[in-house]
Structure 1
Amino acid sequence: MFKNRKQIEQQAMQRYLQFEKEHRAEATNEKMMTRSSLINHHDNLAMERIINKSDLFPIAHLQAGLNVSKAVCRIAIRSRSGQLESYGTGFLVAPNLLLTNNHVLDTKEAAMYAVAEFNYEDDVQFMPLEIISFRLDPESLFITDEALDFTLVAVEESNLHAISLAGFGYLPLLPKPGKILEGEYVTIIQHPNGGPKAITIRENEVKFISSDFVQYVSDTEPGSSGSPVFNDQWVVVALHHAGVPDPEDNTRWIANQGIRISSIIHHLGQKRSGLEDVRSRRLLDQLLDVAMPGSAAEPMEVGTLEADWYAGVAGYDPAFLGAGFRVELPALSEALLEDAAQTSDGNAVLDYTHFSIAMSKSRRLAFYTAVNIDGNQLVDVKRGSDRWYFDPRIDEAHQIGPEFYQSNDIDRGHLVRRRDPNWGIDAVKANEHTFHFTNCSPQHKNFNQKAWLDLEDYLLDNARDSNLKVSVFTGPVFRDDDVSYRNAQIPDQFWKVAVMIKDGTSLSATAYLQTQEDLIGGNLEFVYGQFETYQVPVARIEELTGLDFGGLREADPLAGGQAARVLSREDIRL
């Protein structure tokens, strides 16, 4: 099965020599922010390890390593007659999907006779554990690529002894690049020479990172092919596949090479449309997470954030756009103030990371949300689990909870969009803060997943591409005749006001209105209607909501004008 190993090693050596010649810039701020977005905010030593090359780890790092190691197995390669030919390493990446190298399992037939052996390791007394074997199931799914040297194959869900594969867990694969930086260190869990499970702990510095490959100094042996390569947060960053031979002495090794996980995921995404078998697509979907996140059909997990998640957050910043361009939160009318949910210290505004929310007690929804978006510091943060939170700072009775969204076509529509506040060093915290029930409003799935045209993407893309700062206000329109459902009312309309600096000299405030009234019927079934977004005067939003946006009325290009239907980005007037 390892017929092309020498060729792979020679290619790896050529990359190493080429990288060595090229200029390597230091990690940019953007790369550092992307890298920091994957760090648990409780790991106070992580940034020291990355920036100052500290060797300090929390003791829980060792337990976390043991936990992820369960998903790593030895692959025994056998012939049709059952004769053992060689060994490799693999690891589970979904409930019953295994990732290894193409040069370990290059064909369906090879996978048919191979066996995944878990628990092939010694305990603390150096006594061997009982090996638990599972057969592979290439008929259900088998995807391989020689250029990227990977194979993804299905595994039987239980073995001949009725032992479930689920007990070994799996290692989630994050699609975004930026999980490791040059100069950091990696850890590899492997079966060197087909022997018991082993680990490389230090002296594994990342030397080069290219579009598809990572090269690092590390100890590996034949049989380590197909091993997971981890960063210090035990996130898989690469699939190990080859050593880099010394060009002057081919009996020595100067580095090792892995295929970047982001490249493998991208390739699998392209392969999905070509899968004709329904079961194969379903299995791959487990890995790619192609289902629309946050839909009502998904199970909802309700969690609790510790108090330190709220400590020190400044929320929306009125001075965010710069000196001379202060934009205050919208003022609540006297009637709205009486209905505002307040914290124990009498505050009617809830502050989160880079955004703030004011809540209605009677409707149990936000009057408005306000977020600052910094296009120069945006970080792509993986969505993660679909866990939502009650905000403990106000009465839970003033928040619509999970029971409202079960078994229907109603989504928990983010008001502050998940990606918008994810910038700077607190990007991960901001991402998690958007999953509060205070920040969602009932929206029909077809509205939540398709409406606003590409307005939100337009605002975010412009902020990123032009390094702009944008402040965005969003909320529902409350009407007495809104549809009643499960002891709450579903708003028919939603609004958005975007504020930015135009030509570097003046404020521009544009307002938008969108309706879902054609989608919401008495039985909440989908009604085929037009998705229409209108750009309207800011004053119109004030009339509909009772909010006061102050000076933004004068910064509105439609001030005193008529609403305009928005069909594309070109229709937006700034």
Structure 2
Amino acid sequence: MWLDANQFNMVEKAALDSDLIHDVPRQVLLRGLPSGFRAALRTDPSPLVQLALDLTKLNEVERLAGGMVPIVQYLQNAAEQLALRSIPEAELFKRLANEISNRTRGAAVADLPAPSTLPEVTRHEVIVGRDDMVDFGFLSRALAAGGAVARILVPKFDGGSQVRLASGEPWLARGTAWIIAPRLVITNHHVINARSAGEPDASDADITRQAKQSMVEFDFDRTDAAKITVAIDSLVHASKALDYAILRLANDPGRAGIALNPEPLKMTATSYQAVNIIQHPRGEAKRIAFRNNLVTAADDQLIRYFTDTDLGSSGSPVCDDNWRVVALHRGAKYAKGVSYQGKETAYVNFGSQIQAILADVKAENAALHQEMTGV
């Protein structure tokens, strides 16, 4: 069950208070779910009973064969429709969708600060009046960086046995990975861990096997793209604290890695720093986020930013406008009551500073650090 009894009741009450079940057609709330799945749902002429039936069934399904979590899709659809109508209950649906998203697809994101404790969020800031133009070379640099970004598919093993869905298809965590050095890719530790929030971490044996049997898919730039699939040779090094995992590819995909920013990203009271993210949101075709994308804060280990991401974006490179990596994206928390660039609410995203990751690798595995940096 994704929603507990209290959350379930909150959703039902919000749907009634907002007139969601009367104003929004059921097919709109179910939009994006596979047609066969929608057809199998029970129907009832009473809108209230129909709501309860749909929520109960969606709440019971862990995920579908393609990795979609039905209750997340439903909550996101509801939030979008209520937001279009400027109805405040949209926030509840958004928050619950985000909370569940952080528990799915192996995205058990740990130890991210609560947005309500962050000073740059609680100021309810509004940022206006800046020139956001970039030089024309921004586009070519983005394309070059994008070639190094791939979708990663991680099978789940428990006690040495592969976990499968009710359909018999393998349970897969879907994330993003990218080339950091020849034949080396990096993603999040929680992606390779392939566990939902609340589950114990994978054993050393299981996580090693999960990493080795993962696949990365380059050039998944659109739904009908001809992907280049490369197997993983081994898990080379990982850190749960900084949430990264470095994997060695079985074969050279024949493309360069993304340049790294040589210094940690720093923020001052007058800083205006944008970051751009190439990612595979929801495990789907590659997308790029480079609007409404300012950094809000940075320390020695983490940076925080408003750049758009989604589940499946875990492990993405967070890049400056020169398309050098400044951080490894790791998760997001829903921020309530924020006014940011015209948005009344926002997601605060978090990434590990790439220089903090390199320092950690150097301290734990000097040979790997030299392979990655040449130093």
TM-score over 0.5 (shorter chain): yes
Give the direction of change, closer, same or farther, for the CA distance of 1:135–1:16 in structure 2 (3 Å limit). farther
Q: Distance in 2 between the 1:197 and 1:66 partners?
A: 12
Cα deviation digits, residues 361-419 of structure 1 (max 9, x gap): xxxxxxxxxxxxxxxxxxxxxxxxxxxxxxxxxxxxxxxxxxxxxxxxxxxxxxxxxxx
Which of 187, 206, 223 aligns to 2:312? It is: 223
Give the direction of change, closer, same or farther, for the CA distance of 1:112–1:240 in structure 2 (3 Å limit). same
Amino acid at match of 1:69: G
Structure 2 residue aligned with 1:532? none
The aligned runs of 1:334-349 (5 Å cut-off) are none
The aligned runs of 1:30-49 (5 Å cut-off) are none
Q: Distance in 2 between the 1:152 and 1:121 partners?
A: 23
Structure 1 residue aligned with 2:230? 134
Higher-Rg structure is: 1
Q: Distance in 2 between the 1:66 and 1:146 partners?
A: 31
Matched, 1:267 2:363: no
Which of 192, 217, 234 aligns to 2:323? It is: 234
Cα deviation digits, residues 230-267 of structure 1 (max 9, x gap): 10111101100110223689xx7531111111100110
Cα deviation digits, residues 18-49 of structure 1 (max 9, x gap): 444999xxxxxxxxxxxxxxxxxxxxxxxxxx
Q: Distance in 1 between the 2:216 and 2:151 partners?
A: 6
Percentage of identical aligned residues: 28
Q: Distance in 1 between the 2:116 and 2:281 partners?
A: 23
Q: Distance in 2 between the 1:172 and 1:215 partners?
A: 21
Structure 1 residue aligned with 2:190? 103
SS of structure 2 residue aligned to 1:116:
strand
Give the direction of change, closer, same or farther, for the CA distance of 1:179–1:60 in structure 2 (3 Å limit). farther
Q: Distance in 2 between the 1:6 and 1:101 partners?
A: 10
Q: Distance in 1 between the 2:118 and 2:346 partners?
A: 17
Which of 100, 110, 113 aligns to 1:13? It is: 113
Matched, 1:63 2:157: no
Q: 1:179 touches 1:231 (CA, 8 Å); kept in 2?
A: no
Matched, 1:173 2:260: yes
How many residues are matched?
Answer: 237
Q: 2:116 touches 2:122 (CA, 8 Å); kept in 1?
A: no
Matched, 1:257 2:334: no
Structure that is richer in strand per residue: 1
Q: 2:107 touches 2:311 (CA, 8 Å); kept in 1?
A: no
Structure showing greater relative contact order (alpha-carbon pairs closer than 8 Å, 6 or more residues apart): 2
SS of structure 2 residue aligned to 1:270:
helix
Q: 1:115 touches 1:134 (CA, 8 Å); kept in 2?
A: yes
SS of structure 1 residue aligned to 2:322:
coil
Amino acid at match of 1:214: I
The aligned runs of 1:420-569 (5 Å cut-off) are none
Q: Distance in 1 between the 2:130 and 2:346 partners?
A: 25
Amino acid at match of 1:147: A
Q: Distance in 2 between the 1:246 and 1:189 partners?
A: 22
Tell me by how many angstroms 1:179 deviates.
7.0
Q: 1:13 touches 1:246 (CA, 8 Å); kept in 2?
A: no
Matched, 1:286 2:375: no
Cα deviation digits, residues 96-125 of structure 1 (max 9, x gap): 111110100132221011101101112xxx
Matched, 1:150 2:244: yes
The aligned runs of 1:325-364 (5 Å cut-off) are none
Give the direction of change, closer, same or farther, for the CA distance of 1:247–1:58 in structure 2 (3 Å limit). closer
Q: 2:217 touches 2:228 (CA, 8 Å); kept in 1?
A: yes
Q: Distance in 2 between the 1:153 and 1:115 partners?
A: 11
Q: 1:79 touches 1:113 (CA, 8 Å); kept in 2?
A: no
Q: 2:231 touches 2:250 (CA, 8 Å); kept in 1?
A: yes
Tell me by how many angstroms 1:194 deviates.
0.3
SS of structure 2 residue aligned to 1:177:
coil
Tell me by how many angstroms 1:13 deviates.
3.2
Q: Distance in 1 between the 2:301 and 2:361 partners?
A: 14
Give the direction of change, closer, same or farther, for the CA distance of 1:180–1:248 in structure 2 (3 Å limit). closer
Tell me by how many angstroms 1:4 deviates.
7.8
* TM-score, with structure 2 as normaliser: 0.57
Give the direction of change, closer, same or farther, for the CA distance of 1:105–1:205 in structure 2 (3 Å limit). same
Structure 2 residue aligned with 1:210? 299
Any unmatched runs of 5+ in structure 1? 24-51, 158-163, 274-280, 291-574
Structure 2 residue aligned with 1:78? 155
Give the direction of change, closer, same or farther, for the CA distance of 1:120–1:21 in structure 2 (3 Å limit). closer
Any unmatched runs of 5+ in structure 2? 1-102, 124-128, 163-168, 194-206, 339-344
